[in-house]
A and B are shown apart, each in its own frame.
Chain A
Amino acid sequence: MNILVISLITLGVTGLLAALILYFVAQKFKVEEDPRIDQVVEVLPGANCGGCGFAGCRALAEACVKADNLDSINCPVGGSAVMAQVADILGMAAVASEPKIAVVRCNGTCEARPRTNRYDGTQNCRIVHNLYAGETGCPFGCLGCGDCVRACQFDAIHINPTTGLPEVDEEKCTACGACAKACPRNIIELRKKGPKGRRMVVECVNKDKGAVARKACLNACIGCGKCQKVCEFDAITVENNVAYIDFTKCRLCRKCEAECPTGAIHAVNFPPRKEKPAEPKPAPKPAESKPAEPKPVDAKSAEQKVAESKPVEAQPVEVKPAETQPAAQVEPTKPQEQQSVEQKTVEPKPVDPTPSAETESKQ
């Protein structure tokens, strides 16, 4: 009994002493911090992805609290909603920003861009890029080894095994920029998401002369400049044999897409084009030679893009043949292509299935 009492008292006193020491030390060495930093950290997504340019969410919170205004600070993951909350806490003006998304500017699929050699080294884009041009004839195109996939913290980009190219999940992408930084060829760019996710992209960054680029890849931009000529908004520049669409100026009129002879310009997330059925069309050529035909290619590539994100749209396309006459001529192969396209891992965004009345010019 004695032993028990003595042990209890000794332990109790030791514990009390320790508690007192800890309390005083905690008080003496306390770091004074603005309580608002903690409040801001609460509303931030907590991904610590670095997309804002700061080293983690806490660093961003500190920067926000210190700053005079939130003009130059933005959290791409949380977007305008989160920045509005931060603005509330700090009593500053909220800054609305255009949501962005990572865009892969290469369409050199396995079909369009044949292999000229076999690579047997480590599957790492930066290593391949430092070594040579790659397995194809295009020294600028996507290498498909997945550095971007490994860099993404949001599971928003994956390599499509059929095309060999990365595909961005529109829902999950937060435009943090990790994939863009990881890509050794600067193929991935953060571009405006656009109204209803619609955007125009030149899916090529090949700076070689047109003939050389085309020889390596059927989907290449040959730098012909037709798109630049037809753009009424001065949004397109052609430099170093490749076209670039300035997303701040682009009005989504799709005229450049129609002009492009190789199909390098893509209209993403658009409803299917309304084609005039009266137009005389040449005899239907097989689907494989699609780059040679401007009109059917555009409709098909647009529909491919549409089908990529909205397999639901496949129904309207087949139900209204009158609107999609040229496409109907190449109908036999389309269902299979759409079939394989639907198998992609990209999740579809629910969009209103009645695109009919709206024409492109209204946008």
Chain B
Amino acid sequence: MTTFKIGGVHPDDNKIYSAGCPITPVDLPKQAIIPLSQHIGAPAVPVVQKGDKVKVGQLIAQAGGFVSAPVHSPVSGTIFKIDSTIDAWGMRMPAIFINVEGDEWDESIDRSEKLNPVCRLSPKEIVEKIQNAGIVGLGGACFPTHVKLTPPPGKKAEVLIVNGVECEPYLTCDHQLMLEKSEEIMVGIEILKKALGIEQAIIGIEKNKPDAIEVMDRLASRRIGVTVLPLNLKYPQGGEKQLIDACIGRQVPSGALPIEVGAVVDNVATIYAVYEAVQKNKPLIDRVMTVTGKSVKKPGNYLVRFGTPLSQVLEVAGGIPADTGKIIGGGPMMGRAMSNVEMPTNKRVSGLLLLPEDESVRPEPQNCIRCAKCVQACPMGLEPYLLSKQSEYGLWDEMEKHNVMDCIECGCCQFTCPSFRPLLDYVRMGKATVGGILRARAASQKK
């Protein structure tokens, strides 16, 4: 069985609603709202002001540090204001508002569809180009890619693992991207191999996507150092640590990053963005996102320019069905339920899942029956029942000893629990509290 060794669950696929739907572009909005923080790390700093005219692909905010990413304009028009807007969870975030006029692109961007397979840049130049294009991980974490491509001194990358798993139910954007843009992704893989100075790349794809496996395998067999590894279905196979375990059999030690075991993991959508940035000079200004759900009239994989209000995207998908209970940004296991849909699309949102009302309400939790199914399900080998109870009682020291910081918040425990206990709610709270304690401890030790 080619899959990760510890834990995991098998949620219903539900990919049927949007599987095979060709990538469809969504019309430009009338006003694009571009958040300044679309990544992990410091928010970007605006370099434009009210009244400036911008073109598609033009830099509008520069990175706020090394662990940060620049932001480029996804539309052409006039800067309306630099203000704050509300995100889908009610929190204020700074953003640049652009009134859209036409669709004029920056001259340096190559808009042709022709494949550009050769990259003559040096590794350092590649990383710089990726950094300047504002590429961040599009698998959900939004970690600036150039940081991943710059291993700390003393650590060497040995293998590039391409995440074509898409283990979250309902989502199909990565799958469709692999079917439609397989050549481009291959070139992107070669570019990243060059940037990291390694010879081996493994593309992990789950066996429920046989067409993608076939397409990528056909292309990979023509190349040296790229293999496709079909993986047995299990959630959360797409999780970085689990994918590394499944592909090369190494487990990233607690508290460490994948580079510790010589692996660099990148999502196929990120790699496609790398191709567009390095070979076509196109910065990250759009992405494919899945809009899906049982009652959605026109589910599919939509190519959206950042800054488009989510409500507009939902209109294209046939509007919000009347029986909608939850609108989730991402998949049902780790996605965040939204409280409003005025937030614009950005690098962080990989899909919209609309769940009907009857699937949106949680049953009443009951007593823990100590069945240990959560322990069996946890892919990190933790004991969710124990961590959850410790969190309820505020036993932070105990939680630290029981490795709560290793929790990847995948949701397998709460998914499995026959008593419907909100295990992850409490573990997450405990993780946040213990994280704060650890940071305070580290800060006081530095003094």
Contact = CB atoms under 8 A, between A and B. Distances in A.
A and B touch in the complex (CB under 8 A): yes
Given A130-B428, A132-B339, A120 B360 contact: yes
B339 A133 contact: yes
Interface residues of B, number: 17
A139 B429 CA distance: 18
A139 B90 contact: yes
A134 B429 contact: no
Interface in A288-316: none
Interface stretch (A99-107, A121-129, A251-259): A121-129
B115 interface: no
Contacts of B89: 131-133
Contacts of A139: 90-92
A116 B339 contact: yes
A192 B244 CA distance: 58
Given A121-B422, A124-B426, 12 more contacts: A117-B339, A117-B340, A127-B426, A127-B428, A127-B429, A130-B429, A132-B90, A133-B89, A133-B339, A134-B90, A139-B90, A212-B92
Interface string B419-430: 000100110110
Nearest to A116: B339
B120 interface: no
Interface string B71-92: 0000000000000000001111
Contacts of A78: none
A69 B347 CA distance: 59
B372 to A, nearest CB: 22
Contact of B425 (A116, A121, A134, A208): A121
A137 interface: yes
Nearest to B432: A130
B429 A124 contact: yes
**SS class of chain A's interface: helix, strand, loop or mixed?**
loop
A322 to B, nearest CB: 47
Nearest to B339: A117
B326 to A, nearest CB: 9
Contacts of A122: 422, 425-426
Contacts, number: 44
Interface residues of A, number: 17
A117 B92 CA distance: 17
Given A120-B361, A121-B422, A133 B429 contact: no
Interface string A151-163: 0000000000000
Nearest to A133: B90
Contacts of A130: 428-429, 432
A65 B428 CA distance: 42
18 contacts: A116-B339, A116-B340, A117-B339, A120-B361, A121-B422, A121-B425, A122-B422, A124-B426, A127-B428, A130-B428, A132-B90, A132-B336, A132-B339, A133-B90, A134-B90, A137-B90, A139-B90, A212-B92
A132 B433 CA distance: 16
Contacts of B425: 121-122, 124, 127
B85 to A, nearest CB: 10
A114 to B, nearest CB: 13
Interface in B66-114: 89-92
B91 A132 contact: yes
A139 B361 CA distance: 23
A97 B362 CA distance: 49
Contacts of A133: 89-91, 339
Contacts of A120: 360-362
Interface in B121-137: none
The 7 A-B residue pairs with the shortest CB-CB distance in the complex, in nearest-first order: A133-B90, A132-B89, A117-B339, A122-B425, A122-B422, A127-B429, A127-B425
Contacts of B361: 120
Interface in B111-157: none
A116 B425 CA distance: 22
A134 B339 CA distance: 9
Contacts of B433: 126
Q: Which residue, of B361, B362, B425, has the highest number of chain A Cβ atoms within 10 A?
A: B425
Interface string A60-92: 000000000000000000000000000000000
A130 B430 CA distance: 11
A362 B217 CA distance: 88
A278 B334 CA distance: 64
Interface string A210-222: 0010000000000
B174 to A, nearest CB: 26
Nearest to A132: B89
B228 to A, nearest CB: 38
Contacts of B360: 120
B305 to A, nearest CB: 26
Nearest to B431: A130
A8 to B, nearest CB: 50
Interface string B335-366: 01001100000000000000000001110000
A120 B422 CA distance: 11
Nearest to B365: A122
Given A127-B425, A132-B339, A121 B362 contact: yes
